[in-house]
Amino acid sequence: MIAVVQRVSSASVTIEGKVNGKIENGFLVLLGITHQDTSEDIEWLGKKMIGLRVFGDEEGKMNLDLKTVDGNILLISQFTLHASTKKGNRPSFIEAARPEVAIPLYEKMIVFLEQELGKKIECGQFGADMKVALLNDGPVTILIDSKNRI
Q: Is residue 128 part of a domain?
A: yes
* Longest distance between any two alpha carbons in the chain, whole Å: 49
We report the CATH number of the domain holding residue 52 as 3.50.80.10
**Which domain range does residue 21 map to?**
2-145
Question: What's the domain count of the chain?
Answer: 1
Q: Is residue 150 part of a domain?
A: no
Q: Is residue 24 part of a domain?
A: yes
> What's the N-to-C CA distance of the chain in angstroms?
15
Active site residues: 80
pLDDT in tens, 77-105: 999 999 999 988 999 999 999 999 999 99
150 pLDDT higher than 90: no
Q: Is residue 33 part of a domain?
A: yes
Distance CA 102, CA 98 (A): 6
